[in-house]
Amino acid sequence: MPPIKLTYFNLQGKGETIRLMLAVAKADYEDNRLDFQQWAPLRETTPFGHLPIMTVDGEELAESGTIIRFLARKFDLAGDGEVGFAHADMILEHVKDYRKEIIDTAFTEDVGEKQKLAENFIKNFAPAWLAASERMLILRGGQWFSSNREKAFEGVTGCD
């Protein structure tokens, strides 16, 4: 059994960044994908009642940001030094903002409100979010948000 086990739903969501990091690291891991029926009885056994969770050498970790930061350090993907890590961490937090907007829109039940949120996302949020991302990328030299880790990505084609 691999020393790393990722438990998340059988969809991309918060688990996909973790899967991508494990692919980049060429880590041997168990990708435990659950459907929503499998999730119901497990919910109460998780640290905070949600996924993803990752087990590493018998230790259970929860919260996607924590898992991402852990893997970044473990597999030397965190950027060079404290400043490089901070730059990578800024982008992680920036992506969380994007994800929140998508989820808030997708799970709004009122059709009229959903339409307003979707229009705002397309016309305002996404362009501003992308512009801020591009500014950060340009400030870092135009290719990487943090340290130059090009060699780390050789041979990586994705997770699915």
pLDDT in tens, 115-125: 999 999 999 99
Rounded to two decimals, the pTM is: 0.77
Please tell me the predicted confidence (pLDDT) of residue 1: 53
**Higher-pLDDT residue of 147, 140:** 140
pLDDT tens sequence across 60-89 = 999 999 999 999 889 888 877 888 888 888
As a 3-state breakdown, the chain gives helix, strand, coil percent values, each rounded to 5, of: 60, 10, 30
Cα dist. 116→13, 70, 98, 106, 108 in Å? 23, 37, 17, 12, 10
The rounded mean pLDDT for the chain is: 88
- The DSSP letter of residue 7 is E
